[in-house]
Amino acid sequence: MSTVISNIGELVTNDPALGEGPLGLVRDAAVVIDGDRLAWIGPATAAPPADDAYDAAGRAVLPGFVDSHAHLVFAGERAAEFAARMSGQPYTGGGIRTTVERTRAASDEELRANLARLIAEMARQGTTTVECKSGYGLTVADEERAVRIAAELADEVTFLGAHIVPAGMEAADYVALVTTDMLAACAPYARWIDVFCEHVAFDAEQTRDILAAGIRAGLTPRLHANQLGPGPGVRLAVACGAASADHCTFLSDADVDALAASDTVATLLPGVEFSTRQPYPDARRLLDAGATVAIATDCNPGSCYTTSMAFCVALAVREMHMTPAEAVWAATAGGARALRRTDVGHLGVGARADVLVLDAPSYIHLAYRPGVPHVAAVWKAGRGVWPISWADKSGL
């Protein structure tokens, strides 16, 4: 089954060899989807015939968003905690334990349904690649079921048993459990290992031990680093070859230099600063130093309960002084780099057919018109997921 998308007013390829600037912009373009891949890209006037045709009517087309950081296997919510923060309470991460209680008490079906709901909510806002972490189970059985359920529906799965030390346990005993039985149970379902490296969670030595155990089990590190204050997280991430250091809110010059000199992506999560009233990360400092920057939602019931990459792009532009082009690149190609994926985050022949048709003439509208519905149509791996209902198509 092939589909030609014609009359594209502005095509973002993220391939400078295909078009103008770092976004590889092509005007008056067409693309052809064949199966789950892109089979052709070129001028609208030269578009070949296909089984099906979609007229983009001059709209902008982008690679689907790559949301490289989300915590989606959970039950319950924490709206009261958010309201308290908006009246001055700080975010400390302590609410994680509330969600752990609710998640442990939920059935597999409830967790699966909540995850499917959130991934569907993401899809209809243009997100076509989703990373999903565990971390609200914190027992061997509860973490195993979190990664197992995540692996059914998410593109990328991360074992985050080291999210916080569960109530009633000593930190040393918990680290010993995470690095042995819990890791053994979870590694078959995950590609990544993550640790919340922060004074309220795990220190440098514990983080190093957990990441080393994960690497021995065949997982690749990524890290929650420097979210609530300065600390060793970012330099540890770089030292152990992590794909990404996430949050990067409180950085020293040495942290910035380390990121800039490495392949570790700095993943910024501006929805968290919005929802916790913390200062935003200094994206300009990272970009100007030469670091690779990604943007993701961090969707979770505590520090940031949004699934909207468009909202994060708008925040990145307005609050972190990124240009619209830098923010869109970070939310697509940047996310792909953070997940070490070459098949998503760009549009070119052979890429996965993850296509986002904006209901706007330019990608700039994502930040220029914040808060409005932006999405006209979405294909994920060649399958129309919006406006056709995801639920109807997937049988969920």
CB of 378 to Fe ion, least distance (A): 24
Q: What tokens were used for 175?
A: 């680290």
9, 221, 271, 302: which one contacts ligand NIG (CB under 6 A)? Answer: 302
Cα–Cα distance measured from residue 157 to residue 264, given in angstroms and rounded to the nearest whole number: 18
- Other CB atoms within a 10 A radius of the CB of residue 57 amount to 13
Cα–Cα distance measured from residue 270 to residue 295, given in angstroms and rounded to the nearest whole number: 8
Cα–Cα distance measured from residue 6 to residue 355, given in angstroms and rounded to the nearest whole number: 13
Stretch that binds ligand NIG, among 3-11, 101-109, 301-309, 353-361 (CB under 6 A): 301-309
- Other CB atoms within a 10 A radius of the CB of residue 199 amount to 12
148, 224, 235, 383: which one contacts ligand NIG (CB under 6 A)? Answer: 224
For residue 93, state whether it binds ligand NIG (rule: CB under 6 A).
yes
Residue 99 interface partner, choices Fe ion, ligand NIG, none, CB cut-off 5-8 Å depending on type: ligand NIG
Residue 189 interface partner, choices Fe ion, ligand NIG, none, CB cut-off 5-8 Å depending on type: none
Cα–Cα distance measured from residue 105 to residue 99, given in angstroms and rounded to the nearest whole number: 10
Residue pair 235/255 in contact (Cβ under 8 Å)? The answer is yes
For residue 96, state whether it binds ligand NIG (rule: CB under 6 A).
yes
For residue 303, state whether it binds ligand NIG (rule: CB under 6 A).
yes
**x/- string (CB under 6 A) for ligand NIG, residues 261-300?**
-----------x-------------------------x-x
Residue 235 interface partner, choices Fe ion, ligand NIG, none, CB cut-off 5-8 Å depending on type: none
Q: Minimal CA–CA distance to 163: which of 241, 103, 121, 105?
A: 103
Cα–Cα distance measured from residue 19 to residue 319, given in angstroms and rounded to the nearest whole number: 28
Q: What tokens were used for 89?
A: 């309470």
Residue 227 interface partner, choices ligand NIG, Fe ion, none, CB cut-off 5-8 Å depending on type: ligand NIG
Cα–Cα distance measured from residue 351 to residue 346, given in angstroms and rounded to the nearest whole number: 7
Stretch that binds Fe ion, among 4-12, 292-300, 328-336, 338-346 (CB under 5 A): 292-300
CB of 42 to ligand NIG, least distance (A): 41
Question: Tokens 């594209």 appear where?
Answer: 8
For residue 194, state whether it binds Fe ion (rule: CB under 5 A).
no
CB of 8 to Fe ion, least distance (A): 34
CB of 165 to ligand NIG, least distance (A): 13
CB of 235 to ligand NIG, least distance (A): 18
Cα–Cα distance measured from residue 61 to residue 40, given in angstroms and rounded to the nearest whole number: 14
- Other CB atoms within a 10 A radius of the CB of residue 98 amount to 17
Q: Minimal CA–CA distance to 22: which of 267, 243, 291, 333?
A: 333
Angle (nearest 5°) at CA 240 between 236 and 242: 90
64, 95, 281, 324: which one contacts ligand NIG (CB under 6 A)? Answer: 95
CB of 71 to ligand NIG, least distance (A): 6
Nearest-CB residue to ligand NIG? Answer: 302
Nearer to ligand NIG, 196 or 390 (CB): 196
Which distant-in-sequence residues (6+ apart) come within 8 Å of 138 by Cβ? 100, 161, 163, 164, 166, 174
For residue 156, state whether it binds Fe ion (rule: CB under 5 A).
no
298, 320, 338, 363: which one contacts Fe ion (CB under 5 A)? Answer: 298
6, 14, 99, 306: which one contacts ligand NIG (CB under 6 A)? Answer: 99
- Other CB atoms within a 10 A radius of the CB of residue 79 amount to 10
For residue 82, state whether it binds ligand NIG (rule: CB under 6 A).
no
Binders of ligand NIG among residues 168 to 207 (CB under 6 A) are: 196
- Site size toward Fe ion (CB under 5 A) is 1
For residue 142, state whether it binds Fe ion (rule: CB under 5 A).
no
Cα–Cα distance measured from residue 25 to residue 13, given in angstroms and rounded to the nearest whole number: 6
CB of 69 to Fe ion, least distance (A): 6
* DSSP character string of 7-20: EEEEEE-S-TTTSB
Nearer to Fe ion, 67 or 298 (CB): 298
Q: What tokens were used for 276?
A: 């916790």
- Other CB atoms within a 10 A radius of the CB of residue 104 amount to 16
Q: Which spans of this chain sit near ligand NIG (rule: CB under 6 A)?
A: 71, 93, 95-96, 99, 196, 224, 227, 272, 298, 300-303
